[in-house]
Amino acid sequence: PLVPMTEFLPRAKREGFAVGQFNMNNLEFTQAIIQAAKEERSPLIFGASEGAIKYMGLKNVVALARVAAEEAGVPVALHLDHGSSFEMVMKCIQAGFSSVMFDGSHYPLEENIRLTKEVVKAAHAVGVSVEGELGTIGGVEDDLSVDEEDAQLANPDDAIRFWEETKVDAMAIAVGTAHGMYKGEPKIRFDIIEKVSKNIEAPIVLHGGSGVPDESIRKAISLGVGKINVNTENQVACTNTIREILNAKPDLIDPRKYLGPARDAMVEVVRSKIRLFGSAGKA
Ligand code: G3H
Ligand code: ZN
CA distance 223 to 243: 39
Ligand 1: distance of its center to the CA of 83 in Å?
14
Q: Cα separation of 36 and 280, whole Å?
A: 10
Is the distance from CB of 54 to CB of 43 less than 8 angstroms? no
Within 10 Å of residue 180's Cβ, how many Cβ atoms? 16
Q: Which pLDDT belongs to residue 149?
A: 65
Asked whether 131 lines ligand 1 (CB < 6 A), one says: no
Burial 122-156 (b: 16+ CB within 10 A, else e): bbbeeebbbbbbbbbbbbebbebebeeeebeebbb
pLDDT at 144 over 80: no
Q: Nearest residue CA, atom 10 of ligand 1?
A: 208
Percent of the chain with pLDDT over 70: 99
**CATH code of domain 5-277:** 3.20.20.70
Pocket test for ligand 1, best of 21, 24, 101, 207 (most atoms within 8 A of CB): 207
81 is catalytic: yes
Best of 231, 236, 269 for a ligand 1 pocket test (most atoms within 8 Å of beta carbon): 231
| 40-95 pLDDT, tens digit each | 999 999 999 999 999 999 999 999 999 999 999 999 999 999 999 999 999 999 99
- Write down the pTM of the prediction: 0.97
| Average pLDDT over every residue of 158-166 | 98
153 contacts: CB under 8 Å, gap ≥ 6: 135, 174, 175, 176, 189, 192
CA distance 188 to 157: 18
Q: Could you tell me the sign of the dihedral formed by the alpha carbons of 227, 233, 238, 239, in that order?
A: positive
Q: Is 90 exceeded by the pLDDT of residue 147?
A: no
What is the value of ipTM here, to two decimals?
0.99
- CA distance linking residue 25 with residue 27, whole number of Å: 7
User: Does 273 contact ligand 1 (Cβ within 6 A)?
Assistant: no
Report how far residue 120's alpha carbon sits from residue 133's, in angstroms, rounded to the nearest whole number.
13
